[in-house]
Structure 1
Amino acid sequence: MAALTRTTAMVAVAAATALILTGCAGSSGAADPTDIDPDGEVVPRQISWLLSRPADGGVITAMEQIADEYAADHPGFALNLITTPDRPSYIQKYETLAAANKLPELFDTDATPFAQKLAAQGRMIDIEALLDDLGLDDYREAALNYQRFDDGSLYMVPFEFQLEYFWYNSALLREAGVGVPATLDDFPAMCEALRAKGITPIALDGQDQWPLERYMAYYPFRLAGPEYVQQLKNGEASFGDPAGRAAAEWLSSLGQAGCFQEGFSSTGYADAQALFTSGKAAVYNIGTWELSNLATDALDPAVRDDVDYFTLPTIDGAVTDDTEYVTPSGIGMAVNTKTYDPLVRDFLGFALERYPEVYAATGALSPTSTAATTIPDNATPLYTRAIEQADNVGPRIAMPWDTQLDPATNTRLQQELTLLVQGDITPDEFITTMDAALAENADG
Structure 2
Amino acid sequence: MSSRSIPRALGAAAAVALAATMLASCSSSSGDEQIIRVAMGSPGEAQIRVWEAAGAAFEEANEGWTVEFNFMEDDQYQTIGLPNLLSSRTPPDVYFEWVGNRLETRKQDGFTADLNDAVANGPLAGIFDEDAFASATIDGQISLVPHIADVTNVLWYNTEILAENNVSPPQTWDELLAACEVLDAAGVTPIASGNKDLWAAGNWLAHVTSRVVGEEAYDAALTGTASFDDPKWVEAFGYVQQLADRKCINESINAIDDNEGAQLFFQGKAAMHPIGSWLVSWAIDEAPDLDFDFVNLPEMPGAGDQSSAIGVVTGYAVNAKGSHVDQAVEFLALLNSPEFVEQFIAAEAVPITLSAQESTSIDARTARLMALLSEAGAVISPPDTGYDLGTADAFYRALAEVIGGQTSPEDAAAQLASSVG
TM-score (norm 1): 0.71
CA distance in 2, matches of 1:128, 1:226: 32
- SS of aligned partner of 1:265: coil
- 1:203 is aligned to 192
Deviation per residue, 1:97-127 (Å, 9 max, x gap): 5567974432233335354134245542344
Asked whether the 8 Å contact 1:238–1:244 carries over to 2, the reply is: no
**1:325 corresponds to 2:313:** no
1:286 offset after TM fit, Å? 2.9
**1:69 corresponds to 2:57:** yes
- SS of aligned partner of 1:238: coil
- 1:389 is aligned to 368
CA distance in 2, matches of 1:53, 1:297: 14
Deviation per residue, 1:229-254 (Å, 9 max, x gap): 55434322332346643431111111
Report the residue type matching 2:320 in the other structure: T
Alignment of 1:375-414 (within 5 A): 384-395=363-374, 396-414=378-396
CA distance in 1, matches of 2:404, 2:347: 40
- 2:337 is aligned to 353
Runs of 4+ in 1 over 6 A off after TM superposition: 6-9
1:45 offset after TM fit, Å? 2.8
- 1:266 is aligned to 255
Deviation per residue, 1:203-232 (Å, 9 max, x gap): 222334322102222134435666555543
**1:49 corresponds to 2:20:** no
Counterpart pick for 1:370 among 355, 359, 376: 355
Asked whether the 8 Å contact 1:44–1:76 carries over to 2, the reply is: no
- 1:37 is aligned to none
Report the residue type matching 2:98 in the other structure: D
Asked whether the 8 Å contact 2:145–2:316 carries over to 1, the reply is: yes
Counterpart pick for 2:403 among 405, 413, 421: 421
Asked whether the 8 Å contact 2:156–2:273 carries over to 1, the reply is: yes
Counterpart pick for 1:81 among 63, 69, 84: 69
TM-score (norm 2): 0.75
1:409 offset after TM fit, Å? 4.1
- 1:180 is aligned to 169
Alignment of 1:108-187 (within 5 A): 108-111=96-99, 113=101, 115-120=103-108, 123-127=111-115, 130-133=118-121, 134-136=124-126, 138=128, 154-163=142-151, 164-170=153-159, 172-173=161-162, 178-184=167-173, 186-187=175-176
Asked whether the 8 Å contact 1:55–1:83 carries over to 2, the reply is: no
- 2:317 is aligned to 334
Deviation per residue, 1:128-187 (Å, 9 max, x gap): 66434433354596x7667567x8975222333444432224565466665333233543
CA distance in 2, matches of 1:277, 1:50: 28
Deviation per residue, 1:247-272 (Å, 9 max, x gap): 31111111111111233322444543
Deviation per residue, 1:395-421 (Å, 9 max, x gap): 453333233444444444444333211
1:68 offset after TM fit, Å? 2.4
- 5+ residue gaps in structure 1? 13-42, 376-382, 440-444
Distance change in 2, residues 1:172/1:318 (3 Å):
farther
| Farther off after superposition, 70-79 or 49-58 | 49-58
Alignment of 1:23-38 (within 5 A): none
Counterpart pick for 2:241 among 225, 235, 252: 252
- 2:207 is aligned to 218
- 2:27 is aligned to none
Report the residue type matching 2:355 in the other structure: T
Asked whether the 8 Å contact 2:150–2:278 carries over to 1, the reply is: yes
CA distance in 2, matches of 1:291, 1:85: 19
- SS of aligned partner of 1:264: coil
Asked whether the 8 Å contact 2:202–2:400 carries over to 1, the reply is: no
Asked whether the 8 Å contact 2:14–2:76 carries over to 1, the reply is: no
| Farther off after superposition, 259-268 or 166-175 | 166-175
- SS of aligned partner of 1:370: helix
Counterpart pick for 1:191 among 177, 180, 191: 180
- 1:433 is aligned to 415
- 1:107 is aligned to 95
CA distance in 2, matches of 1:344, 1:308: 37
1:334 offset after TM fit, Å? 1.2
RMSD: 4.1
Report the residue type matching 1:364 in the other structure: A
- 2:79 is aligned to 91
Distance change in 2, residues 1:252/1:224 (3 Å):
closer
CA distance in 2, matches of 1:390, 1:369: 18
Report the residue type matching 1:61 in the other structure: R
CA distance in 1, matches of 2:160, 2:44: 37
- SS of aligned partner of 1:333: strand
Distance change in 2, residues 1:346/1:318 (3 Å):
same
- 5+ residue gaps in structure 2? 1-8, 20-31
Distance change in 2, residues 1:128/1:199 (3 Å):
farther
Report the residue type matching 1:335 in the other structure: V
The structure with more strand, counted as a fraction of residues: 2
Distance change in 2, residues 1:271/1:92 (3 Å):
closer
Percent identity between matched residues is 23
1:431 offset after TM fit, Å? 1.1
Aligned residues: 390
Distance change in 2, residues 1:71/1:8 (3 Å):
closer
1:73 offset after TM fit, Å? 2.6
